[in-house]
């Protein structure tokens, strides 16, 4: 009796990457909407002087979320796409760490915790996207 082996289908090898891109898109959408809708109260919560930066970041997050959803909706997702989004998220985390370790932005204590928490979540997405891209064939 012969045993037949099959290689994993392209869908199964990119499932983690697809789901991570979708989850990142949801998180980015919610974050972007929250920053735009609550720009004024979030400005004082974080210790910023103007809500303009939050409006800009919120709009950019919505564009980023749209690109994540488009990438996740593709029939086949290549490794480069996963690594690209992991790199973008990694840059976000490094930027967040730089802001937290310097006094460029006079965050409140709650603002520092909020930035750190967001950076932690984004770093998890970066790690999962990297792993999903690595698994993709």
pLDDT value of residue 1: 57
**Tens-place pLDDT, residues 49-97:** 999 999 999 999 999 999 999 999 999 999 999 999 999 999 999 999 9
With b for 16 or more beta-carbon neighbours within 10 A and e for fewer, the 29-55 pattern comes to: bebbeebbeebeebbeebebeebeebe
**Tens-place pLDDT, residues 114-133:** 999 999 999 999 999 999 99
Where along the chain do its domains lie?
A: 12-135
pLDDT value of residue 103: 86
pLDDT value of residue 54: 98
| pTM of this structure | 0.88
pLDDT value of residue 12: 65
pLDDT value of residue 14: 87
Asked if residues 128 and 20 have their Cβ atoms less than 8 Å apart, the reply is yes
Is 6 a residue whose pLDDT tops 60?
A: no
Q: Give the pLDDT band of residue 4 (cuts 50, 70, 90).
A: low
For residue 120, give the 3-state DSSP assignment. helix
């Amino acid at each position: 009796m012969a045993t037949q082996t099959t290689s994993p289908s392209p869908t199964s090898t990119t499932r983690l990457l697809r789901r991570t891109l979708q989850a990142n898109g949801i998180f980015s959408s919610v974050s972007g909407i929250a920053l735009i809708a609550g720009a004024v109260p979030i400005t004082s919560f974080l210790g910023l002087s103007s809500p303009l930066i939050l409006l800009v970041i919120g709009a950019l997050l919505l564009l980023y979320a749209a690109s994540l959803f488009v990438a996740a909706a593709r029939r086949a997702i290549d490794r480069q796409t996963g690594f690209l989004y992991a790199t973008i998220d990694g840059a976000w985390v490094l930027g967040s760490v730089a802001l937290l370790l310097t006094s460029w932005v006079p965050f409140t204590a709650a603002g520092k915790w909020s930035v750190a928490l967001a950076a932690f979540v984004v770093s998890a997405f970066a790690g999962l996207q990297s792993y999903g891209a690595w698994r993709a064939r």
